[in-house]
Structure 1
Amino acid sequence: MNFDETSKSYLISSLPSHERPRERLLESGPDVLKDVELLAIVLRTGPTGKSTLDLARELLQHFDNSLLLLAQASPAELEQVHGIGPAKAADLKATFALAERLAKYKQGDKPKITTPEQAAGHMREKFRQKRQEEIWVILLDARNQLIRSEMVTIGLLDRSQAHAREIFRPAIQYSAAKLILAHNHPSGDPTPSPNDISSTRDLIKTGEIIGIPVIDHVVVGLPQDGRCDYYSFREHELIN
């Protein structure tokens, strides 16, 4: 009896041991499991009268069978599914957070960021599940090696919300030789707004004064109809 997402409900205990998700993972590895089976392992138990597989299936269906939508969901949104309480919601959020951190992990020497495409590539995963605009700085040393990237504020890039001291504080703290500004447009269109442009010009002037130049500002959106998913101020000659 193979597990089928469209089949009737089965309690995990009623399945042969070689068909139970946890046992299959231990025997054959995670690649042989479907999304719903991996999710069932994270959930561990279902509510009374419902198997973990049933709960995992209902949870995925609630979010249109999309792992991305599931990962983006808040704890309150997760708890709208019967059988998901605060503890299971926390388990799910922790699981997706670990997956996101693992995706960012890189071994070896510090990467160099020398092109707008590399800067956008560095930020895509950080922005992938974000619903609000976030302002980040990418800190580089004199050889364009990455020191670190850090979020400095949430919200629109304008004079009231992204003060120069917030932008340059981490650059000074970590002795950066230069920095790249980056923020996302959750709408998907990376075209900068007039506020983005005017605020960036002000920050460029500040960088010149304190000796930490802003060498680019990359706005990351989403690819659509062949459109590039990022906008580089340097590529568009808004930064010399």
Structure 2
Amino acid sequence: MSEKRRQRYQSVLYPLARLPRFCRSELADLVDEEPAGFITKTVNEVVKAGVLETVREDGEIHFEWTHGDPLQLVDQWIDRRIHGDQVKEKPEQERPRERLMRLGAASLSDSELLAILIRVGVVGESAVTGGVKLANRFADELDLIRNYGLPELRTITPAITKASYCQILAALELGKRATEAARARPVEVTKITSTIEATQYCAQKFAYLSGDAVQEEFHIVTLDTKHKPIRTHRITVGTLDSSLVHPREVFRPAIRDAAAAVLLVHNHPSGDPTPSREDHAVTDRLTEAGKLIGIGVLDHIIVARERCQSLREC
């Protein structure tokens, strides 16, 4: 019975999840496998759950998915409809804590991790529902939760109590401190003589730039005559521009460190490490400037969520 219900919900919502936006008058054409009444009722329930938002334009009602992957949002909503809001009504192996123990924290969605921190819900709203609402509201900006007070978060979900609010803030702060500790920990490396060694070094040393940074940052790593790292220096913050990254600012700390070479490093907050034309222009300009003063540019590494990319390989 539950599988049949799941299939009916999927037949309505899966076609809609492939669209970033659709209007009420299109529903019958977009979904033709179910009666119009069931389609309308299902969409209204999804709106009520906060998974879809309504926008009125020119007398027409349009629907837009809230933050996140629509298909994932749909599957989560269907699970709640089938198994109920309460965690105890889910099969044991599908409960957030059990999934964490079985699969590891990295395998859980944001909403599941938040549900674990909320721990228990309140009358009328479970921890699972609260986690989904918070995850939908903050999407890829979970760090912004720390800027909200308890009363503000409770307008998003009443499942947030004083205890769960403290647990969420504590988890965010602990994650921040763990990142800072990893950033401060020295990276064990003897020397950097190849692209592979350069990307591996940057992946560890500048890991925080791949996840936390919201702006581009340009750094250099100064190297001695054996290409062993001396220290790192942040040069600029903001969009990388050849007019802003002046050779004087880049090579001043290199000269001060008596460096024989430098490794250029910057991040792409978008997560895509593909070099831009400006990235290549900056690299070429600094390489030529380095030749004039006898400090070589070993490589230019782009740090991003997906991977690190060497411009020497492009």
Return the TM-score normalized by structure 2.
0.48
Within 5 A, what are the aligned runs for 1:212-223? 212-223=295-306
Give the counterpart of 2:147 among 72, 76, 79: 76
CA contact (8 A) 2:210 2:267 kept: no
Number of the residue aligned with 1:102: 181
Q: Where do 5+ consecutive residues of structure 1 fail to align?
A: 9-33, 41-49, 224-228
Number of the residue aligned with 1:117: 196
Change (3 A) 1:68 1:164: same
CA drift at 1:100: 0.9
Number of the residue aligned with 1:232: 310
Percent sequence identity over matched residues?
Answer: 30
Mapped pair 1:128 → 2:217: no
Mapped pair 1:195 → 2:286: no
Within 5 A, what are the aligned runs for 1:4-153? 6=87, 58=130, 62-63=134-135, 69-70=141-142, 72-73=143-144, 75-76=146-147, 80-82=152-154, 94-104=173-183, 106=185, 110-124=189-203, 125-129=207-211, 130-153=213-236
Structure showing greater radius of gyration is: 2
- Distance in 2 separating the partners of 1:150 and 1:84: 43
1:171 is paired with a residue whose SS is helix
Number of the residue aligned with 1:45: none
CA contact (8 A) 1:114 1:144 kept: yes
More helix by share: 2
Higher relative contact order (CA 8 A, sep 6+): 1
CA-to-aligned-CA distance 1:195-226 (integer Å, 9 cap, x gap): 21122111112111222211111123343xxx
1:218 is paired with a residue whose SS is strand
Q: Where do 5+ consecutive residues of structure 2 fail to align?
A: 1-85, 90-111, 155-159
- Distance in 1 separating the partners of 2:191 and 2:88: 50
In the comparison of the two structures, how many residue pairs are matched?
Answer: 194
CA-to-aligned-CA distance 1:1-53 (integer Å, 9 cap, x gap): xxxx9369xxxxxxxxxxxxxxxxxxxxxxxxx9669968xxxxxxxxx8xxx
CA contact (8 A) 1:78 1:84 kept: no
Number of the residue aligned with 2:69: none
1:102 is paired with a residue whose SS is helix
1:128 is paired with a residue whose SS is helix
Change (3 A) 1:84 1:191: farther
2:279 is paired with a residue whose SS is helix
What is the aligned-residue RMSD (CA, Å)?
A: 4.3
CA contact (8 A) 1:110 1:147 kept: no
Return the TM-score normalized by structure 1.
0.60
Number of the residue aligned with 1:174: 257
Change (3 A) 1:132 1:84: farther
CA drift at 1:77: 5.8
CA contact (8 A) 2:269 2:304 kept: yes
